[in-house]
Structure 1
Amino acid sequence: MKRILFILTICLISTGLLAQQNLDFSKKVEIISPQINSDNTVTFRLMAPNAKEVKLQGDWMPSEGWITKLQDLQKDETGVWSFTTQVLPSDLYSYTFIVDGLKVLDPNNVYQVRDVATVMNIFLIEGGLGDLYKVQDVPHGTVARCWYDSPKLDSPRRITIYTPAGYEAGKDKYPVFYLLHGMGGDEEAWMALGRASQILDNLIAQGKAKPMIVVMTNGHTSNTAAPGESSKGFYKPDMRAPDIFSGDMEANFGDVIKFVESNYRVKADKQNRAIAGLSMGGFHSLYISANYPNTFDYIGLFSPAILPPANAASPMYVDLDAKLKTQQDNGYSLYWIGIGKTDFLFQNVVDYRSKLDSMKFKYQYRESEGGHTWANWRLYLSEFAPMLFQK
């Protein structure tokens, strides 16, 4: 019996030593990707010794329409593929690898975001605009995901609300900025992709923007919440929701305002309300502000999807010119429009501006480089927010 126990003990010790050898991290090759170099070039690396081809897709790369031109990586003798970009301006960027035709995430980068059904890695280059999107050592606001009842839609709905630093400890009332997402988004989009809380925290700390409450809704009335956050379960997100441009979002927006003004310390008057949105959210902002012409003093249209509505007979979309005239007569502090020079909606915005010009409807116009991208929408938010509630 003693001999058997001795043999078993030796086996256990040997197994332990072998396990320790397998956990010898000193022999592990560390791969850094992405590596932001001192000159603001960026090096990407991927260990894939058996791959035949590795490409890189990034949102800074030129594109032809919706198709981004991909960049080839080169493999070294150890099986590591790599590529170094040209100098990139300070900003937030997203990317993915494509290995033998299959899109994959960077296993060496844990920072990811979801845009509709696509998950991407992100990185940030500091020293300029990117600093505004970075978490800085400043007082931070609170971001809450909560549910509200929408009597008109007969369902509870999820909403994201940013309150500025000091809200919980104070008694002051604040102005409210309603910030709407695009066709592929939800109540998470402006936080995850738009860096809204970082932008607001930093602008407020710098004294460039007034402390404000920011309300980020789910603009798809057929979904009560972002994918995976509702009773619909874990379904594959699809940007082609049946409610798009139906008029439902605009017709029921009063439920959102009522919830916010009943549950938060807000200044509940026109001078202290703003609304803005990107793409589909820009379309919504246009029609919500026109249909409730004495509700918002600040209106922002970021790359607005000024397209024929799906339900043109909806009361929300009827007699737009007359509604704009009423909005004009009631007065407002700011009507702001931004669009990228290569945005596929550029001509639509040109046509809409012609309408406004013919009416002598005053607005501010911002034309930027690039197209229909989050790079532009983050930029627009960083420029629009400081103009709010300054009177």
Structure 2
Amino acid sequence: MKRIFSLTILVILFCASASAQQALWGGAQITSPEVNSDKTVTFRFQAPDAKEVKLTGDWMPSEGWVPGSELMIKDDKGVWSFTTKPLESDLYGYAFLVDGLRSTDPNNPFLIRDVASVTNVFIVGGGKGDLYSVNDVLHGSVIRRWYDSPSLKKQRRITIYTPPGYESSTDNYPVLYLLHGAGGDEEAWINLGRLSQIMDNLIAQGKAKPMIVVLPNGNVSQSAAPGEGLRGFYKPQFMVPNTMDGNYEASFPDIMKFVESNYRVKTDNANRAIAGLSMGGFHSLHISRYYPNTFDYVGLFSAAILPNQDVSHEVYNDIDGSLEKQMENGYKLYWIGMGKTDFLYKSGEEYRSKLDNMGMKYNYVETDGGHTWTNWRVYLSQFAPMLFK
């Protein structure tokens, strides 16, 4: 009798514990998203009292600046679901719209921040999505450091990727300075761009040379990414003060000096590259021509081109003359990528026409889609294998 009583207590305690854990983790266990064998993806969201739930994802045709959406269907348990058509291999972001209110997926803990928006992500494998995945290869290291910027009179945070074997080697490595866009920071290429996964996989496949990749913060008013610097926690903004006013370009040698003093790197032009997306492409364009004998490799990913008319800084003086000087000094690769529906397409077209008229050689890649990380990850995977050959 005593044994039966003890077993009964154990069962009650187990059920209570299971119930508590279920409540702790948000109710019934639901799998979402579920990538199916045919590359369709099923999403589920429990909201028995909701009148309408929609799924929005970056693979859907856009409605202006935002992706489209699809209605989900509710079952008798209050779980809403939707299954996509087969998706191409890639990394995707999505969210739910619950009675018009945007919500992340409580059953998917994998999120990334883009400016002030937090989005769930998943990967469909079997293609370029594999390049963005952690595979059974040797891995590099990602470290956050602080460096002194005398030009900006502050300490600033920087992210640096070192290739597999860097710590145990005595070799010197080439360097790619990879710059983020507006609203980004030193975390953007790691979290949104899958930089470390892409580089690990390209190096393992023998497609890219081992290199150090430097990921600075291009917002000179910040010491670090929101939540990581002196200001503490605050809502990130798309554009912050002094972001495209010439001070970042002028202060860039502070970053190079830190890298070349603290890492085993090759310090000649042939072993330096600079590239960036959108605002980072703008910065790469102007840094590379303002210091026209510094980088043999330049990459402009969906780049903004000209400064605002109300900006006055010596960095932006005589743009044509400094481009001529850059061309005369020589370089090995000037690479431009742009999406067909990018809002910067026309300004990019005008810039290429300027280069054509000057006789300045460049490689141009045009892709489907617009101003998106889907394109920028592809551009990096195409650009990096061309470096330091």
TM-score (norm 1): 0.94
- Residue 70 of structure 1 and its aligned partner are, at CA, apart by 1.3
Q: Distance in 2 between matches of 1:37 and 1:242?
A: 45
Q: Name structure 2 gaps, 5 residues minimum.
A: none
Other structure's SS at 1:97 match:
strand
Q: Which residue of 1 aligns with 2:83?
A: 84
- Residue 12 of structure 1 and its aligned partner are, at CA, apart by 12
Amino acid across the alignment from 2:175: V
| Alpha-carbon RMSD | 1.8
* Residue correspondence of structure 1 range 317-332 to structure 2 within 5 A: 317-332=316-331
* Residue correspondence of structure 1 range 33-44 to structure 2 within 5 A: 33-44=32-43
Other structure's SS at 2:257 match:
helix
- Residue 330 of structure 1 and its aligned partner are, at CA, apart by 0.4
Q: Distance in 1 between matches of 2:204 and 2:7?
A: 59
| Aligned 8 A contact 2:202 2:208 in 1 | yes
Q: Which residue of 2 aligns with 1:219?
A: 218
The structure-2 alpha-carbon separation of the partners of 1:354 and 1:41, relative to structure 1 and needing over 3 Å to count, comes to same
Q: Which residue of 2 aligns with 1:169?
A: 168
Q: Which residue of 2 aligns with 1:229?
A: 228
Q: Which residue of 2 aligns with 1:5?
A: none
Q: Which residue of 2 aligns with 1:23?
A: 17
TM-score (norm 2): 0.94
- Residue 310 of structure 1 and its aligned partner are, at CA, apart by 5.8
- Residue 29 of structure 1 and its aligned partner are, at CA, apart by 4.5
- Residue 312 of structure 1 and its aligned partner are, at CA, apart by 3.3
Q: Which has the larger radius of gyration?
A: 1
Q: Which residue of 2 aligns with 1:347?
A: 346
Q: Distance in 1 between matches of 2:289 and 2:18?
A: 66
Q: Distance in 2 between matches of 1:158 and 1:251?
A: 18
- Residue 352 of structure 1 and its aligned partner are, at CA, apart by 0.4
Q: After superposing the two structures, state which structure 1 stretch, 28-37 or 377-386, moved more.
A: 28-37
Q: Distance in 2 between matches of 1:272 and 1:21?
A: 62
- Residue 30 of structure 1 and its aligned partner are, at CA, apart by 3.1
- Residue 187 of structure 1 and its aligned partner are, at CA, apart by 0.1
Q: Which residue of 1 aligns with 2:296?
A: 297
Q: After superposing the two structures, state which structure 1 stretch, 237-246 or 27-36, moved more.
A: 27-36
Amino acid across the alignment from 2:219: H
Q: Distance in 2 between matches of 1:315 and 1:322?
A: 13
- Residue 13 of structure 1 and its aligned partner are, at CA, apart by 10
Q: Distance in 2 between matches of 1:63 and 1:354?
A: 29
Q: After superposing the two structures, state which structure 1 stretch, 56-65 or 257-266, moved more.
A: 56-65
Amino acid across the alignment from 2:56: Q
- Residue 207 of structure 1 and its aligned partner are, at CA, apart by 0.5
Question: Sequence identity, in percent?
Answer: 62
- Residue 311 of structure 1 and its aligned partner are, at CA, apart by 5.0
| Aligned 8 A contact 1:247 1:311 in 2 | no
Structure 2 residue 252 is the aligned partner of structure 1 residue 261:
no
Q: Deviations over 1:101-151 (max 9, x none)?
A: 111111111111011111110000110000100001111001000000000
- Residue 20 of structure 1 and its aligned partner are, at CA, apart by 2.9
Q: Distance in 2 between matches of 1:371 and 1:347?
A: 12
Other structure's SS at 1:158 match:
strand
Other structure's SS at 2:186 match:
coil
Structure 2 residue 48 is the aligned partner of structure 1 residue 53:
no
Other structure's SS at 1:252 match:
helix
Q: Which residue of 2 aligns with 1:241?
A: 240
Structure 2 residue 107 is the aligned partner of structure 1 residue 74:
no
- Residue 56 of structure 1 and its aligned partner are, at CA, apart by 1.1
| Aligned 8 A contact 2:221 2:243 in 1 | no
Other structure's SS at 1:190 match:
helix
Other structure's SS at 2:325 match:
helix
Q: Distance in 1 between matches of 2:132 and 2:193?
A: 9
| Aligned 8 A contact 1:44 1:82 in 2 | yes
Q: Which residue of 2 aligns with 1:147?
A: 146
Q: Distance in 2 between matches of 1:195 and 1:245?
A: 25
- Residue 172 of structure 1 and its aligned partner are, at CA, apart by 0.2
Q: Deviations over 1:334-389 (max 9, x none)?
A: 00000000111101100100100100110000000000000000000000000000
Q: Deviations over 1:60-100 (max 9, x none)?
A: 11113313221111111111101111111000001111111
Other structure's SS at 1:290 match:
helix
The structure-2 alpha-carbon separation of the partners of 1:12 and 1:38, relative to structure 1 and needing over 3 Å to count, comes to closer
Q: Which residue of 2 aligns with 1:130?
A: 129
| Aligned 8 A contact 1:312 1:318 in 2 | no
Q: Distance in 1 between matches of 2:322 and 2:310?
A: 18
Q: Which residue of 2 aligns with 1:308?
A: 307
| Aligned 8 A contact 1:245 1:311 in 2 | no
- How many residue pairs get aligned? The number is 380
Amino acid across the alignment from 1:23: S
Moved over 6 A (4+): 11-16, 25-28
Q: Which residue of 2 aligns with 1:157?
A: 156
- Residue 320 of structure 1 and its aligned partner are, at CA, apart by 0.3
- Residue 24 of structure 1 and its aligned partner are, at CA, apart by 4.5
Q: Which residue of 1 aligns with 2:181?
A: 182
| Aligned 8 A contact 2:90 2:129 in 1 | yes
Q: After superposing the two structures, state which structure 1 stretch, 256-265 or 13-22, moved more.
A: 13-22
Amino acid across the alignment from 1:208: K
Q: Which residue of 1 aligns with 2:203?
A: 204
Amino acid across the alignment from 1:140: H
- Residue 314 of structure 1 and its aligned partner are, at CA, apart by 0.5
